[in-house]
Structure 1
Amino acid sequence: MPSITIVGAGLGGLTLARVLHTRGITSAVYELDASPTARDQGGTLDLHEESGLRALAEAGLTEQFRAVAREEGEALRILDRHGVVRFEETAEESGGTRPEVDRGELKRILAGSLPDGVVRWGSKVTAVSAGAITLATGEVVETDLVVGADGAWSKVRPLLSDAVPVYSGLSFVEANLSDVDSKHPAAAALVGSGSMFALAGGKGLIAQRNGGGRIRVYAAVETDDPAAVTGLADRERLLELFADFDAGLRALLVDSDGTLVPRPIHALPVGHRWDRVPGVTLLGDAAHVMSPFAGEGANLAMLDATELALALADHADVESALSAYEAALFPRAEEAARDSAANLEACFRPDAPAAMVDQMLAHTAHH
């Protein structure tokens, strides 16, 4: 049996280790974080039938997922900057096929499904080659396969590709509100049980209900300079930028807790691919980081992981498994990246939110 080394214990790396485990294949995951809860794991995700939910089924974790999923989180509303609702869909109307889950809860389930010792928490990878990884301790781990599941700024990717993520022209400033039902009832009513987009030309406020009575808010700003977003992580400056937004929408920023976090959005070129290099491959953001406007990032990472695990289980040798996996990966990722780039552009056009509303109405009519 080949030795399999996974760099990164995000959703993709953990899904790969878990699906391999269910097929009787051992792997080792090396992760810089000291534990699954070492830092904020991010907001809520909607898992899709053909990708994230399928991955959980192959991992044997559907029941555990359903116990923490929030079906009501599928609700969506789109507003203009005046706070006027231009499109609304309840969870029931959306069809119930994309349940929401907090990223931290999903990570807890995946990490908890692995035998002790599979994930080497607190392990910093300092160098990677096609046959080995080197840790900060100086230890060299030799392996038959290195899988880069280590995100947008992957240390594994340079073995396969010279591509680096490029700034998308859009930045987020992240804010949080807690205990919203009792402390911020107006914000709770405005956002609802799912996600809310309030859009105008070149900017917008995106809010999503998380578990535990929290709302996560992203102030989205188009700017050519990704460094400029650091200056916007200041409440007064950010509120000046959104001075033409309704007071109820601005309250999402005014009432938010703690510090604001700048998050420039980067993406790899659409259609990113590489020639087959023996003993190494990528999945998730390491392979195809894109803007979050297709809602596919976590879903694709989990699907990549599942497809790779199944290919390794089904093929007699690693190289034929990797060839089969990558042949399916490249077109799938290219389509999602193209959609993501187009959606980002549509969301912040001068006539926003018209394009997103039209898109949602067309989608609703189709279904």
Structure 2
Amino acid sequence: MTSPTPISIIGAGLSGLVCARILQLHNVPVTIYELDDSAEARRQGGSLDIHDDTGQVALKAAGLWDQAREHAHPSGESMRVMDKHAHVFVDTPEPEGGNGRPEIDRTVLRQLLIESLAPGTIQWGCKLVRLASDDHGNTLEFANGATVRADVVVGADGAWSRVRTALSPEKPAYTGITITEFRLTDAATKYPESRALVGPGSVFALSDNKYIGGHGGDHLSLGVGLRVPEDWITATGITGDDPAAARETLLRELADWAEPLTDLIRHSDDTIWPRPIYALPIGFTWPRSPRITLIGDAAHVMSPFAGEGANLALIDGADLASELLSHDDPASGIAAYERRMVPRGAKSAKASQKGLERMFNEKAPKQIVSFFRRMNALTRLFRPILRPHGQG
């Protein structure tokens, strides 16, 4: 058993990484324990729009915003909304200088954070199996046989957080939506028609409780969303192990959709990943612990239909680091962090649920079209105020 370390973070996702980065900038010893064997072991998802009031704040605190911005997708803030017939209702190009929420590939951002840490900060291949606490700290036991002591444990281990089980029996519930993610690599060269259909930014094709959506550019990162039972993956046998069969399953679900849209599935890479979407109750809290807390999806996993999850993960990590640094004892820092995090997470969870309801209904895309048209009108109205003195 090792001697106690000040802070142990469980999970090398965005929240845990940015928290560790900020702590290290202030010379606080921290170790991240990650169950994956390497950074490349698992699919990291597609593109993220980094919000100016959350994700950007966190990356600036980590001293990485300028580097991250260099990886922003050209015209990534453009928006296109259509129905299953590929009839376009909203087609908004990115304005000059953008809207202040640049799109960045999640894998690129995660790697940037990983490389910003001191060598050896991340202990790969460490799956937490038991967490026990006493008056003097925490004991962490891992599947590889390692046992460590930690003054503070931060659960950054995602939707099915092992750390959360030490604080609450609450588990995420199925939202009714399953997304099957896929990519079209080098679509600009191989499938220019598909690239033109999707465009350079976000795209939503919506009808009948179904959607194809995601992000465009030279490489397309998309998903098919369906309102289906929780056991739909098992019932259909759709897996990433048989890409041809997975395509056939998706094409059956979208049999009456326009061919240009279903061609996105036909042309997809073989990396196809079905994923049920789960969420914790809106406003989820847990009994406060003086030495354990949660950040990111471990604290407030929600559906992705408001674009808030990754941004919340980043600001959670930054806020926790800030509060731990500014308080004399961990308990006070954790309490201050949780007072900030819980209402913010609840607000975003409500927005995510509302976004899901706007997108998945029998009248789609009517509600989402109205929403984006209102947003576009407000952006045009307030752009001179939001970007004063000729700033782009």
The alpha-carbon deviation at position 138 of structure 1 amounts to 2.1
The aligned residue for residue 134 of structure 1 is: 141
> Given that residues 232 and 238 in structure 1 are in contact (C-alpha distance below 8 angstroms), is that contact kept between their aligned partners in structure 2?
no
Of residues 228-237 and 328-337 in structure 1, the stretch that sits farther from structure 2 once superposed is 228-237
The alpha-carbon deviation at position 96 of structure 1 amounts to 2.9
Q: Which residues in structure 2 correspond to 1:180-329 (within 5 Å)?
A: 180-209=187-216, 213-223=218-228, 225-230=229-234, 231=236, 233=238, 234-329=246-341
Aligned counterpart for 2:122 among listed residues 119, 123, 143: 119
SS of residue matched to 2:9: strand
Cα offsets for 1:37-86 (capped at 9, x unmatched): 22222111110001111111000011211221224211110001110110
The alpha-carbon deviation at position 207 of structure 1 amounts to 3.1
The alpha-carbon deviation at position 34 of structure 1 amounts to 1.9
Alignment partners' CA distance in 1, 2:280 and 2:112: 29
Alignment partners' CA distance in 2, 1:169 and 1:250: 23
TM-score (norm 2): 0.90
Alignment partners' CA distance in 2, 1:90 and 1:133: 50
Cα offsets for 1:124-152 (capped at 9, x unmatched): 22211231211223221111110000000
SS of residue matched to 1:72: coil
> Given that residues 55 and 311 in structure 2 are in contact (C-alpha distance below 8 angstroms), is that contact kept between their aligned partners in structure 1?
yes
Cα offsets for 1:265-315 (capped at 9, x unmatched): 000011101121221000000000000001011100000000000000100
How many pairs does the alignment contain? 364
Alignment partners' CA distance in 2, 1:71 and 1:324: 38
Alignment partners' CA distance in 1, 2:237 and 2:191: 24
The aligned residue for residue 389 of structure 2 is: none
SS of residue matched to 2:144: coil
Cα offsets for 1:201-231 (capped at 9, x unmatched): 2111113126xx32122111001x2221342
Of residues 235-244 and 107-116 in structure 1, the stretch that sits farther from structure 2 once superposed is 235-244
> Given that residues 170 and 220 in structure 1 are in contact (C-alpha distance below 8 angstroms), is that contact kept between their aligned partners in structure 2?
yes
Alignment partners' CA distance in 2, 1:331 and 1:151: 19
Taking every aligned residue pair, what percent have the same amino acid on both sides? 42
The AA in structure 1 aligned to 2:38 is: S
CA-atom RMSD, angstroms? 1.6
> Given that residues 86 and 261 in structure 2 are in contact (C-alpha distance below 8 angstroms), is that contact kept between their aligned partners in structure 1?
yes
Question: Structure 1: which 4+ aligned runs deviate by more than 4 Å?
Answer: none
The aligned residue for residue 55 of structure 2 is: 52
Aligned counterpart for 1:145 among listed residues 144, 149, 152: 152
Alignment partners' CA distance in 2, 1:118 and 1:261: 30
Are 1:333 and 2:338 an aligned pair?
no
The alpha-carbon deviation at position 331 of structure 1 amounts to 0.5
Alignment partners' CA distance in 1, 2:127 and 2:165: 17
Distance 1:232 1:349, change over 3 A: farther
> Given that residues 232 and 262 in structure 1 are in contact (C-alpha distance below 8 angstroms), is that contact kept between their aligned partners in structure 2?
no
The aligned residue for residue 99 of structure 1 is: 102
The alpha-carbon deviation at position 240 of structure 1 amounts to 1.8
The aligned residue for residue 68 of structure 1 is: 71
The AA in structure 1 aligned to 2:268 is: S
> Given that residues 301 and 309 in structure 2 are in contact (C-alpha distance below 8 angstroms), is that contact kept between their aligned partners in structure 1?
yes
The aligned residue for residue 383 of structure 2 is: none
> Given that residues 127 and 135 in structure 1 are in contact (C-alpha distance below 8 angstroms), is that contact kept between their aligned partners in structure 2?
yes
The alpha-carbon deviation at position 260 of structure 1 amounts to 2.8
Alignment partners' CA distance in 2, 1:123 and 1:69: 32
Alignment partners' CA distance in 1, 2:328 and 2:5: 10
Alignment partners' CA distance in 2, 1:165 and 1:93: 40
> Given that residues 214 and 221 in structure 2 are in contact (C-alpha distance below 8 angstroms), is that contact kept between their aligned partners in structure 1?
yes
The aligned residue for residue 157 of structure 1 is: 164
SS of residue matched to 2:38: coil
The AA in structure 2 aligned to 1:164 is: K
> Given that residues 181 and 188 in structure 1 are in contact (C-alpha distance below 8 angstroms), is that contact kept between their aligned partners in structure 2?
yes
Alignment partners' CA distance in 2, 1:294 and 1:142: 38
Distance 1:96 1:366, change over 3 A: closer
Aligned counterpart for 1:38 among listed residues 34, 38, 41: 41
Unmatched 5+ stretches in structure 2: 239-245, 380-392
The alpha-carbon deviation at position 259 of structure 1 amounts to 5.0
The alpha-carbon deviation at position 328 of structure 1 amounts to 0.9
Distance 1:249 1:94, change over 3 A: farther
SS of residue matched to 1:218: strand
